[in-house]
Structure 1
Amino acid sequence: MRTLIKNSAIAFVLLAGVTTYAQKDNRSIDNYREPNKNGINVFEAVKDTTSTFENVKVRIGGSSTLQFQAIDHENSGAVELVEIGSNFNLATANLDLDVALYDGIRMHLRTYLSSRHHPEPYVKGGYFQIDKLNFIKEGFMEDFMKYTTIKVGHMENNYGDAHFRRTDNAQAIYNPFVGNLIMDAFTTEVGAEVYYQRNGFIGMLGFTNGKLNQAVDNPDTGGASFLAKLGYDKQINDDLRFRLTGSLYNTGKVATSYLYSADRAGSRYYLVLEPTGSRTSSAFRSGRYNPNLKNSITAIMFNPFVKYKGLEFFGTIESSTGKGNAEPEDRTANQFAGELIYRFGNDENFFIGGRYNKVDAEDISGSDVEISRVQLGAGWFMTKNILLKAEYVNQKYDGFGNGSIFDEGKFNGLMAEAVISF
């Protein structure tokens, strides 16, 4: 234990020396979530009719993270686990292009330069966002567009609020912890979303083609997904903010549903509970749970958020029901999570917090399984673009049958992460 603490302390000092480069505020564009400390607790991009557009403006940004991992894992021994130790993981990096194309029109494109699953750069996705219709005619439908936003693209779909706080490869500055949720709802599909935001009310309807990988060579494997969100978000007074949303993701029949497996950037807990011979790039979802509702799924998520001065609570209540083509009946997976964060210091540059996350599911194996996780974390914003954070994680598996790699499985230990985002 002393060695673990010593190694973690050394790693945190090294992470603190990554770099101190920061960007200026004049790089902002309209109706945009800042990729730094100012973007924390921002969900859908703020709807603002004030325009700063003059000419086409290209904002080049990105993020880079580096983690030190000191985690132990064990199971019943039915399946031998890969040996893991304390060391740094491969740094991850994103490249972002955000372009103001016209008054009320912008584009976003994210490329993963380095990720756990892919050694080569690849495009995560992007979208075209319309907040005004002045390109048709000056003032066209301006009363309607004052509250409306249209997004079209091969993009991260807006199911739930948890995806706004999750780590997206190297973009980890919004996440007060190192890891994402156990059932990590995230997918990128081609589609469109229409938003209406007014006096705190939030409404969204969206449709996608239900496919992660786009191609024309399998015309009969298509499908469709429907998304919806309804909520309320209000700054009650200077000290108190309240937000509550409910979200729906539904697909009646697709070749493969990727809602809980689409993040090819990978989990932050490297090689935990993976068999001997596993490699980081192939076992990139370690520590997560995919209920394998492969061909049809209806997922519902509720997210309350309350912030009073420096204290904030964010919750997730989720239920997903569906099945694969070969399954005679639907199965259900439920997830519950609660985060309590306290931010303090000048401009809330420091924070401490904890998260409890639990999944109860009817597994594809036929067993009723349970996975629980406790995360305790702390962080320091050296600047608005640089975050250092540390986390203790303890995750346990129950109900997985003899012969499963998760039988009596658990992992626990320390993580430290340095994040640069600009």
Structure 2
Amino acid sequence: MSPNGYITFGTTQPGATTYNPISTNTAHDGVISGLGINLIDNTGSSPIRYEIQGVAPNRSLVVQWQNAERVIDPGVFNFQIKIFETTNQIQVSYGNCVPLGTTSRTVQVGLRGPNTTFPRNGGAGNVLNRLKTTSTPWFGTTLPGTAATSNVRTIGNSVAIPPSLAYPDFGLTYTWTPPSSNCTTPSASATGLVIGGTNTTFNSFIGNSFTPATPSSSHYLIVRSLVNTPPTATEISNGGYWVAGDTVAGTYTVVSSAPSSTTTFTQTGLTAGTTYYYWVIPYNDNCIGAPFYRLSNILTASATTCTPTAVATAATAINGNGFTLNWNNVAIATDYRIDISTNNTFTNILPAYNDLSVGLVNSFTVSDLVTATNYWYRVRAIGPGPCAINSNIINVGVLPCGYYNIPYTQNFDTSPLAGLATCFTRENDNADVIQWGFKV
């Protein structure tokens, strides 16, 4: 038993200055930590107590720290570590805990086996611990640890009420129960994998889901790759854990390892115009030898991200009957398509410029447009992706007066009284009272 909030197993005694017992690789057979930090008795008369309660075969060993205090901050902690016979359960229970002081102090809570190997990246680990980084009470807010060094925050408050911000709530209990049965390989595979069911962008798939197997496994491991080669037991072996973000055998990226109740997942931060292959692998957990993976008849699907969006820039060389469209370069583009419209909703796209392919250029000049008309344009980059996304919209504005295509008629019916049609003016060549309108 260590005064610093933990107990160890084996012949190696706890180190007097070992305050992080889960992440410190001392040669213990095992460690149980209720509040791993440098502790002292804040009363001078509250020793660590232990006793065996109950009768065989249902006894329990209880180790209790009473009125413990962090050496570097005031306050009080009361907690127990309990080990149960027959069920082999382990519990850490907390009584009145009131840390004071406004500096965050981290403690280690959880279990450690003969070494500090964390169960991830395909390894069968020896650490089960808790994680908390926020300044709130512990109940319902600590998470499974993500590394052997994961810890839990304690901190007091700068005002008297409440005196503490992050602390173990009175009555809070963590329970670890060993598996009761041997692992079996899931008997069925998931179905109905959908990638990008809601939307596909240049760097994401939105709306990804699958239907769990019947009977379902306890969890599903979802991996993706840039090559269409399904994983095997060589890469994903029984007994090894993987979590989101891990890389398997340098080829597969772990997307999720969630319980079977979670049948959706997100995909962002992808590379544009790239095909991704996905596999949904059932596995059983919480059993002896876990996890066990089903690597036959793996559910798979693939999808390709869109080509990046081009950015349209302002028109140049504007004249009475045309202008030059401009846009930025998209590295993986093999073509560009343009739309020109007489309204900003693009319901009046000019037939000659409706999804017009202009080649691998970054500008395009149009002519013979109707003069004195307002125009808008947009661009799409075409590339290896299955979808092309419209760029931003550029308003060219109303073209200045130019030529009218022949034949041209103008009856002035829409001209205001004593007014002129657009691009017409008056001129009196012979100095009489008659003025003739003509196009300029």
TM over 0.5: no
Structure number with higher relative contact order (C-alpha < 8 Å, ≥ 6 residues apart): 1
Q: TM-score, normalised by structure 2?
A: 0.21
Larger radius of gyration: 2
Structure with more of its chain in helix, by fraction: 1
Structure with more of its chain in strand, by fraction: 1
